[in-house]
Structure 1
Amino acid sequence: MARTLFITGASSGIGAATARAAVEAGWNVGLFARSQDKLEDLVKELGDTAMALPGDATDLSEQRKAAASLAEAFGGIDAAFANAGTGLSAAGTEAGDPEEWEALVRINILGLLWTVKATQSHLKESKGHLVLTGSAAGRKHIKGSVYSASKWFVHGYGGNLAEEFREWGGRCTVVAPGMVDTPFFDEAKPDKLQPEDIARSVMFALEADRRANVQEVFVMPVD
């Protein structure tokens, strides 16, 4: 029986690449993001094993509704990928924009928490797997970086979740990329990592033998 993966931030970049990789590996996928048009185009590409779930990651009720719809459609949820995130236009603290900080916290921290809350009961039932998008920036100190601090939270919380999930046979993985060529950046980064590189890392963790919990995966560009 095919397993089912819920993905936030699924309309482009790492989320869309992971959806493609998961479908290729035989998974069903629930695609959650704000851009309904992009989600519908991706569903047309992937076929009937994909389901468009338009919604805002910063809204717990919308994530809960999406997860419930996915579980009903495919008989449960075996894994969730909390991938939705954002960056900042101004680096550092002194030059930072408090309104941007608030938006960042809402999606990078609260949005991730809402994914856990929305899917944990489903994952507990399936002894499932949660994957979080961390960052290499979440493992080093960067001068005044609020974005980096938000990813430190992801790494810390991911480790805490791994301990909690272990109690009932679940798994939790943080995938931490270096610079990836995605719409996250205003300019293309063709010499850096590609979304497909991170998608393969997500699938590596998900497809690991049940006895193994791959808790962190670091993926850095060679250049």
Structure 2
Amino acid sequence: MDRIVFITGATSGIGRATALLLAEKGCRIIACGRREERLAELKEKLGDQVHTLTFDVRDRKAVEAAVAAIPDRFTAVDTLINNAGNAHGLDPIQDGDPDDWDAMIDINVKGLLYVTRALLPSLIASGRGHILNIGSTAGKEVYPRGNVYCASKHAVDALNQALRIDLNAEGLRVGAINPGLVETEFSKVRFKGDEARAETVYQGYEPLRAGDIAELIWFALSRPAHVNIADLVVMPTAQASSTQVRKEL
């Protein structure tokens, strides 16, 4: 597939798996993230097929500078995967840390807006622009102690709908993939490095893998031009909701 795909949060998990799969399918990749050493590993693996950008999506000026500095061979971006996102903490609202709240809102909501805004001129000019937002089942329901994280993912859900409406006249496809439990570094970040606690989240059942979501992203991107996967929810078979998971202990 002859596309130039801009992927945020490409240093691990869903973002990295997506970069590898789409490169295999023939796309040129702009892989973005904060961890330069992880991006260097991706560059070593994919060679000239990937261009890497190191910045934090929370920093609007850094986003704008990174997009402005994309080399000529990669400037005609026609596809955006808004994948960067994090959960911080799992406390009831009365015990929540405002720093955690800021991090989730800044990354999950403002970061998505900053990157999308910076790339819209290229996406529109391409005549075949496609935006895929990686949301969450947390954007479809609220669960105990999820409060601000759920609110941020509900915002992603709303923005996905709003982008599709506002950009309809420009001919852009806009859609979202909303995963349930995916075994990545997500829980390790949420529990602030407590690996033992993070591992318990994925024990006793088979969770989704990053590669599963990458395949769904490829499916959405590879549909005919008149087909838009507008909103897709995916869970492991063992999961019925955010709070109901069948585990074999």
TM-score class normalised by the smaller sequence = over 0.9
Q: How does 1:1-223 map to 2 (within 5 A)?
A: 2-70=2-70, 72-127=72-127, 128-143=129-144, 145-186=147-188, 187-188=198-199, 189=202, 191-223=206-238
Structure 1: how far apart are the matches of 2:75 and 2:106? 30
Q: Secondary structure at the match of 2:215?
A: helix
Structure 2: how far apart are the matches of 1:207 and 1:45? 23
Q: Secondary structure at the match of 2:90?
A: coil
Alignment gaps of 5+ in structure 1:
none
Q: Secondary structure at the match of 1:160?
A: helix
Structure 1: how far apart are the matches of 2:44 and 2:107? 27
1:145-200 CA-partner distances (Å, limit 9, x unpaired):
21011100001110110112211110111110001100111224372110001111
Q: Secondary structure at the match of 1:131?
A: strand
Count how many residue pairs are aligned between Structure 1 and Structure 2.
223
Higher alpha-carbon deviation: 180-189 or 47-56:
180-189
CA shift, 1:60, in A, is: 1.8
CA shift, 1:8, in A, is: 0.6
Structure 1: how far apart are the matches of 2:75 and 2:110? 27
8 A Cα contact 2:2 2:27, kept in partner: yes
CA shift, 1:206, in A, is: 1.1
CA shift, 1:70, in A, is: 3.3
Structure 1: how far apart are the matches of 2:64 and 2:25? 26
Structure 1 segments (4+ residues) deviating >2 Å: 64-75, 186-191
Structure 1: how far apart are the matches of 2:122 and 2:164? 16
Give the TM-score normalised by structure 2.
Answer: 0.85
8 A Cα contact 2:3 2:28, kept in partner: yes
RMSD of Structure 2 on Structure 1 (CA): 1.5
Matching residue of 2:245: none
Select the structure of larger CA radius of gyration. 2
